[in-house]
Structure 1
Amino acid sequence: MNSPFLLIIIPMLASMYIQWRLRSKFTEYSQIALASGLTGAEVAQKMLNENGIYDVRVLSVDGQLTDHYNPQDKTVNLSPDVYAGRSIMSAAVAAHECGHAVQHKVAYAPLQLRSAIVPFVSVSSRYLQWVLLAGILLIQTTLLPLAIGVGLFALTTLFSFITLPVEFDASKRALAWIDSRGIVTAREHEMAKDGLHWAAMTYVVAALASLGTLLYYASILFGGRNRD
């Protein structure tokens, strides 16, 4: 098998495994009731309030694993199972998303950097596949479209790696807070930590997959340049 092609296949297989592990952990820890009896929404509201954040709303959104913090409209969006759930995973995920709200309040540098390049990544993602396709089709004529495509892909890869400290820091804040406030017992804390670990690993694999794909297209670009 072509070695550059492995740069895409290996991260893809790793991503499938990580997603399976995450869903497995989410299901397992979602079935274990939290000793404190709080819902995810209550955990989120409590964490926001105790961090002096009163302008962020906690909302329920459709889907599973759709939980996220939106800095534009200042909302913590929780999936139904997390919002109304009283499980270890509900508390962990809710606190994690509020960790992003805390980052926003304290102007956490990686979050600010990620937010600053979001508009550029959005535009890049919209046209990226078409630019790369044009680059492959025209490689015998000109390398310019492929070079532009590699440049745009480099931006999305950079975004993926900037996301890593943002996600790990949010989990660190979440775990420290739920532990210090007695939201979880020592046993529950370890489960929450395990669940958030697998969630964070999806971002790690996504970043590596993006890097692998970038290197794959870069190898085609420089291979074509060498033929010239």
Structure 2
Amino acid sequence: MYQINSKIITFIPWEKIEESARKQIENTSQVPCLFHHVAVMPDCHFGIGATVGTVLPTIGAIVPAAVGVDIGCFTGDTLVPLIDGKSYSLKELAEMDKEIIVYACTASGKVVAAKATAKITRTDAEIVKVILDDGAEIRCTLEHRFMLRDGSFVEAKDLKAGESLMPLYRETDKDGYILVQQNYSGRMQKAHWIVARSGLLGKIPRFEYERKKF
């Protein structure tokens, strides 16, 4: 996480964000109804009305263009893994019409939890099929941006065979806890700790204790 100033927090290095999106984020951070700060997700890019991939909390106003992580460039049958261990299609999530908690990844390879909403944005768009090395297929719009293993982004239409995408590796331990591999270290971390350390549960309390000799 990067604290750009008192009103902007990003999950991607500031210099890796396109200039047009940076200017848009800076302008958004100055709106009078902003509550605390703008949160910028790793997949952010310039958008109409507001930067796609930003979270804009407000007080005393509703900003329709301020939405969560951009996951609307896929077809409705695309499965999205949620923090609770279940996967739902985008169509199902859009019909639920509520905020969800998804996995996101910073440019440094740190897997974090982020709030998102699924919306039907288009009904007629040109799409491309991306085939992963495990045989899984993803259908998305040509301009959808995929994060590569080095933290950079490439639009679907510009992907080349053999390029390595930023992965999401999960497993369940013997006690039933969901474990997620942190790409920057290779270590497994419990999903509920990822949620807590992403700030979605509020401030984590600290407890002081004193050792006594007996």
TM-score between the two structures when normalised by the length of structure 1: 0.24
The structure with the largest alpha-carbon Rg is 1
Q: Comparing both structures, which one devotes a greater share of its residues to strand?
A: 2
TM-score between the two structures when normalised by the length of structure 2: 0.25
